[in-house]
Amino acid sequence: MHRASRRLFVGHFTAKAAVVLVLSPALAWASNSVPDWVRTAAQQPLPHLPESTKAVVLLDDETYTVDAKGQAVIHEREVIKILRPQGRDYAYPVVWFDKDSKIVSLHAWSIDPTGHEYVVKDSEMREGSPPGEGGELYNDIRFKVADPPGRDPGGIVAYEYEQHARPYVAETSWDFQGELPIVSQSFTLELPAGFSYTTSWAHHDKMDAIDLEHQRYRWEMNNEPAIDLEHVPMHPSSRSLAGRMTIHYAGPGLSFPEDGTWKGIGEWYTTLSRDRLAASPEISAKAAEITAGKTDFYDKSEAIADFLQKQVRYFVVEMGVGGWQPHYAADIFRGKYGDCKDKATLLSAMLSTVGIHSDLLLVDTRRGVIDPAAPSIHGNHMIAAIEIPKGYNSAKLHSVVTAGNGKRYLIFDPTWELTPFGQIEDNLQGSYALLVEGADSQIVQIPVLNPDLNTVHRSATLQLAADGSLKGNVKVSRFGDLAEDGRYIFLHEDATKQQEYIDRSVAHDLMAASVTGLKIENVAALDKDLTTSFDLSADHFANSVGPLIMVRPRVFGSYTLPIDHKSRKVAIDLHQTMEGTDSFDIQLPDGYTVDELPDPVKADVGFASYESSTKLEGHTIHYTRTFTLRQVSLPPDKYADLQRFVGLIAADEDSRVVLKHN
């Protein structure tokens, strides 16, 4: 497990960019061997669909068969019809696999828009690997893919495959909603005698199965709409909206039992990870070295966390169950690299040697994917929950949760090298996570942090000339996640890239701007503001209108959000809590006075607030404002409030001071 999900995406859930890399022109030949089930699906009438629909799934039929030893085989049939040219990308039959989920068979067919039928030969199938992520060393996930002809609007593409399910889990999921609408779909579960099952439903009401007798059960759905977020601003992850059913099964002699509860999933993962957490003498010695002279819980934890963030590289080496099971802490320490679960494991081992207990925490990097009402192993990331001693308090601890057993934990991600200790990155805030602690395993919610832990402060002292040009000195301080990009660039990029980063920060608001004399402070000190200061000059900042000069008091920087003016049906992802303050002083050119000032602005809508003021102090325009965002997500019925709020900010950011010549 690492930053990308270990789940195998199939068919219309494919990562298509990875597939296109290996395709060559298809060599399929005309044939009458297209199966009857493909023709039947192709001939059924379509329901009413939005005009923008690129393709539609006509049939998706999956059967999951478990044998007496608990091993399972997946059989899948799918038929897709292309409706628009952009739908061609959805018509690559592809199956992902690894050494534990081998493909038994894969067949593909197509019917072009004129009715000609084709079959793809086995020799024409291609295999490949997805592009490696940053920091990925080795991963055994591969795919097998076909490129049938006839992938044009009106064409039909179908495929059928059989594949072994991974042998170390006792659950499977039916993902019945995705990027394309689905006309007809079903999921069939076949269990051996003595086995039982339970289901959990995420983002959808529970449906009862059709009992086919003899331990066979079937679920059916028709005309399931697509989750189309292509033109929806600030949308959540589609996976946080897509309906899914997770099946947990159990039976006699099953070597990987799991009862379908969060506690059961935690116990299952504990069996995978428990022996990996043991500390070696070398680990103990290093932990003692970096915590020498420290007695406070925070100080000791921070020292070890800092070591994991800065000295252990994010690298992935995983095969099969290694996608879930961490390596041994001793091996991770020796190599000084590992993925998310490895880094969390080594952190736990090191903390244990200085008397601090911690547990692994299964999360997903996409807020909302883990549904607290639907136990499953759908997380794609692993972090740490560090137990806080009873009665201990510190103003430095922010991302703190209290579990159902009364214990308090500091939630920390050693993978995110630039997140200050005591905090958690914004995309995990508000998410649910599984605390892995054997029989005490439970679901918890990661807190949403206070806005004052994620800040940007801009200040400038500037001189306006009569020709509209502007010159002066600027200072920008950032903290928390808002400092992450800057810290990375100033730590890892050359001077040219650093200058480009600063130039971009002002170019959106200032034409013909020049930034010189760049100074940087506290780049690696995560507990301090990342501060940049520079000299700024900008031509044509102010505009002349006859004898008047129009000056924007908001020199640069924006707090508007990317809204549209449509109605809203899905939740609003605000991304992060934050606080921003600006203070700009603009000295007037000689011979000019203020004729008109913008009105002050003050608004508080609960989830956010905004306040600005423009004053004349002596011969200087003094502009100040404060923007506060208090929540990371909103329900869709708050969209109208957000639209009005953003409109108010946009109007203030575009307001002008009117100057006149004496």
Q: DSSP string covering 407-430, please? A: -EEEEE-TT-TTSPTT---GGGTT
How much is the pLDDT for 269? 94
Nearest to residue 278, comparing CAs of 328, 217, 211?
328
Assess whether pLDDT exceeds 80 at residue 67: yes
Domain identity same for 458 and 440: no
Domain identity same for 112 and 225: yes
Query: For residues 137 and 339, what is the distance between their CA atoms, to the nearest angstrom?
Result: 10
Query: What CATH number corresponds to the domain at position 619?
Result: 2.60.120.1130
Assess whether pLDDT exceeds 70 at residue 569: yes
Query: What CATH number corresponds to the domain at position 174?
Result: 2.60.40.3140
- 382 in any annotated domain: yes
Query: For residues 447 and 424, what is the distance between their CA atoms, to the nearest angstrom?
Result: 9
Question: CA angle at residue 297 from 294 to 298, to 5 degrees?
Answer: 90
How much is the pLDDT for 92? 92
**Tokens read off for 28:** 């399929």
Domain identity same for 438 and 329: yes
* 354-366 confidence digits (pLDDT tens): 999 999 999 999 9
Give the number of residues written for the chain. Answer: 662
How much is the pLDDT for 141? 86
Domain boundary among 238, 255, 272: 255
Domain boundary among 448, 469, 495: 448
How sure is the predictor about 6, in pLDDT bands with cuts at 50, 70 and 90? very low
- 6 in any annotated domain: no
Domain identity same for 578 and 471: yes
- 612 in any annotated domain: yes
**Tokens read off for 321:** 């169950």
Domain identity same for 418 and 470: no
Query: What CATH number corresponds to the domain at position 409?
Result: 3.10.620.30
How sure is the predictor about 594, in pLDDT bands with cuts at 50, 70 and 90? very high
* 217-243 confidence digits (pLDDT tens): 999 999 999 999 989 999 999 999 999
How much is the pLDDT for 322? 75
Domain identity same for 504 and 545: yes
How much is the pLDDT for 319? 72
Query: For residues 315 and 212, what is the distance between their CA atoms, to the nearest angstrom?
Result: 47
Residues 6+ apart with CB under 8 A from 262: 375, 434, 441, 442, 443
How much is the pLDDT for 31? 47
Domain identity same for 635 and 514: yes
Separation of CA 154 from chain center: 35
Q: What is the mean pLDDT of residues 158-162?
A: 97
What is the three-class DSSP state of 398?
coil
How sure is the predictor about 10, in pLDDT bands with cuts at 50, 70 and 90? very low
Domain identity same for 518 and 619: yes
Domain identity same for 513 and 656: yes
CA dist list (Å): 165 to 70, 352, 609: 10, 36, 51
Mean of the per-residue pLDDT values of the chain = 91
How much is the pLDDT for 315? 85
Query: For residues 171 and 256, what is the distance between their CA atoms, to the nearest angstrom?
Result: 10
* 297-328 confidence digits (pLDDT tens): 999 999 999 999 999 998 887 777 778 899 99
Q: Which residue has the tokens 């331990």?
A: 215
Query: For residues 550 and 557, what is the distance between their CA atoms, to the nearest angstrom?
Result: 19
Q: What is the mean pLDDT of residues 11-34?
A: 43
CA dist list (Å): 188 to 44, 71, 378: 22, 16, 21
Query: For residues 592 and 547, what is the distance between their CA atoms, to the nearest angstrom?
Result: 10
How sure is the predictor about 537, in pLDDT bands with cuts at 50, 70 and 90? very high
Count of helices and strands (H, E) across the chain? 10, 39
* 407-424 confidence digits (pLDDT tens): 999 999 999 999 999 999
What is the three-class DSSP state of 458?
strand
Assess whether pLDDT exceeds 70 at residue 27: no
Domain boundary among 392, 416, 448: 448
- 5 in any annotated domain: no
How much is the pLDDT for 2? 40
What is the residue type of 424? I
Q: Residue 270: how many CB atoms within 10 A of its CB?
A: 18
Query: For residues 294 and 288, what is the distance between their CA atoms, to the nearest angstrom?
Result: 10
Structural domain boundaries, residue 159: 11-255
pLDDT > 70 in the chain, percent: 94
Query: For residues 471 and 589, what is the distance between their CA atoms, to the nearest angstrom?
Result: 12
* 88-128 confidence digits (pLDDT tens): 999 999 999 998 999 999 999 999 999 999 999 988 899 98
Domain identity same for 103 and 207: yes
512 or 466, greater pLDDT: 466
Q: What is the mean pLDDT of residues 575-594?
A: 96
Domain identity same for 68 and 91: yes
Query: For residues 562 and 565, what is the distance between their CA atoms, to the nearest angstrom?
Result: 10
**Please, which residues bridge with residue 658 across strands?**
550, 596
- 3 in any annotated domain: no
- 2 in any annotated domain: no
CB-count exposure of residue 104 (10 Å: 0-12, 13-18, 19+): exposed
The total domain count for the chain is 3
Contact predicate 631/574, CB 8 Å: yes
Q: Residue 171: how many CB atoms within 10 A of its CB?
A: 23
Domain identity same for 350 and 496: no
- Per-residue DSSP letter, 553: S
How sure is the predictor about 23, in pLDDT bands with cuts at 50, 70 and 90? very low
**Tokens read off for 353:** 């040697």
